[in-house]
Amino acid sequence: MTETSRTGRFKLRTSALRAYTMLLALVVIWLFFQWATIDQYHPYGLFLGAVNFSKLLQQMAVTGVLAVGMLMVIVCGNIDLSVGAVVGLAGGIAALTQGWGLVPSLAAAIFVGLLIGAVQGALVAYVNIPAFIVTLGGLEAWRGVILRLTKGATIPVELPFFRSLGRELIRPRIGLGLAIVGIAAIVWTNIRRKRARQRHGLTALSVGAIAARIAVPSLVIVAFIFLMNQGGGVPIPVIFLLAVAIAGAFLTANTTFGRYLYAIGGNPDAARLSGINLKRYILVAFCLMGALAGIASILHTARVGSASPDAGTLMELDAIASCVIGGTSLMGGRGTVFGAVLGALILASLDNGMSLLNVENWAQYVVKGGVLVAAVGFDMFGRRKS
């Protein structure tokens, strides 16, 4: 066995270990808060109840969408500190343009995010200003712009359908339909992968292994839909998050664009010498981040029911923390959409659980900071081992 293959297998095992560790941590967090919320009114616990779990997922939807975009930026070796301010600005634009109609106001929010991403990406990629400086300046500048546009006032969301995007639930029957579609997609993907490996003369997984790869996620989907339907249905923001996560996972794992992002973040000199246009792909990564910030602004503004100048404050830190907790390296070149969304779910679970237990705000900040430092320490330990 060559040194390269041994290194590759070690990295694969390390990545799998990190994913399993995060999943185990999430289960432990859930079980602890379920036990801690047992009282005379909730003999089995409140945390994992259908209603509370639905609220938890609505809380994490905005952070999850931002984390998918942040992952792409970090993977290519950059950072975006302005996304919280962009969420505030794009949400404010959507609220200010409600008179144009629903579609134009939502499109305006996404366009503003995309435009800001393009401007900041161009400054990073083509003017060679460090992303930290560009986006730190953007954090201040875009916050000032929305403060000027709104004149410090809070703008209510008046369009009923707009508000429903952040609060309403889809009908249980539609949820069941989505579950069937999801399970069918899992079956098709595994069968397609097996046939592809056989076609190229590679060793295919056994029937038992394929059955397990189909059964486990299918059971998770069924359990999730059942739990959500107990609470009235799947929240619409969660549907947005799932769509963004699936698209982001496909883009990063199954396209040339995704492979180039990892190559740029892993070794930019080697990527440039191999013919990859670094500037173009960095620009596209920032554009995607901006567009997703626009989508996140719609979900946040709809859920809150209004747009305010301070909306989105510290969301950039939650997005970055979600990526890091999920195993993304701040040095670039490593990370997954699954890990980023998992990190967002861990943060949301901590927020929700500590709120149910009436933990004071200062203690909540300490716990979340400790979790972030522990995640980075685990990442550094893995790097030293490799």
Amino acid at residue number 97 = T
Summarised one tens digit per residue, pLDDT across range 32-51 is 999 988 887 777 888 888 88
Which residues, listed in sequence order, are joined to residue 156 by a DSSP beta bridge?
A: 306
- Which residue did the predictor score with more confidence, 7 or 142? 142
Please, is 36 exposed, middle or buried when counting C-beta atoms within 10 Å of its C-beta (0-12, 13-18, 19+)? middle
Mean pLDDT of 318-325: 91
Q: Quote the CA–CA distance of 301 and 151 in Å, as a whole number.
A: 17
pLDDT at 350: 92
Summarised one tens digit per residue, pLDDT across range 256-308 is 999 999 999 988 889 888 888 999 999 999 999 999 999 999 999 999 999 99
pLDDT at 16: 61
pLDDT(106) > 80? yes
Residue 90: count of CB within 10 angstroms of its CB: 36
Could you tell me how far CA 168 lies from the centroid of its own chain? 21
Q: Quote the CA–CA distance of 210 and 292 in Å, as a whole number.
A: 34
Summarised one tens digit per residue, pLDDT across range 198-246 is 777 777 777 788 888 888 888 988 988 988 888 888 999 999 999 999 9
The gap between the terminal CA atoms of the chain, to the nearest Å, is 17
Percentage of the residues of the chain whose pLDDT score is greater than 70: 93
Angle, to 10 degrees, between the axis of helix 256-266 and the axis of helix 278-304? 110
pLDDT at 4: 43
Rg of the chain's alpha carbons, rounded to an integer?
21
Determine the Cα angle at 288 with ends 179 and 95, to 5°. 85
* DSSP class of 235: B
Cβ atoms of residues 282 and 123 within 8 Å: no
Main-chain dihedrals φ then ψ at residue 49, nearest 5 degrees = -65, 155
Where is 128: in which H helix or E strand?
none
* DSSP class of 6: H
pLDDT mean across residues, the chain: 87
Mean pLDDT of 20-38: 88
Mean pLDDT of 119-136: 94
Domain formed by 28-34+46-168+235-385, architecture: Orthogonal Bundle (1.10)
Mean pLDDT of 319-338: 88
pLDDT at 1: 45
Task: Determine the length of the chain.
Answer: 386
Q: Quote the CA–CA distance of 190 and 102 in Å, as a whole number.
A: 40
Percentage of the residues of the chain whose pLDDT score is greater than 90: 45
Which residues, listed in sequence order, are joined to residue 307 by a DSSP beta bridge?
A: 155
Q: Which residues are within 8 A (CB) of 201 and not within 5 positions of it... i.e. 6 or more apart? A: none
Main-chain dihedrals φ then ψ at residue 296, nearest 5 degrees = -60, -35
Split at pLDDT 50, 70, 90, the class of 7 is: very low
Cβ atoms of residues 343 and 39 within 8 Å: no
Q: Where are the domains of the chain?
A: 28-34+46-168+235-385, 170-234
Q: Quote the CA–CA distance of 358 and 352 in Å, as a whole number.
A: 10
Q: Quote the CA–CA distance of 64 and 345 in Å, as a whole number.
A: 8
Q: Quote the CA–CA distance of 341 and 323 in Å, as a whole number.
A: 8
Q: Determine which of 129-133, 262-266, 305-309, 379-383 has the lowest per-residue pLDDT on average.
A: 379-383
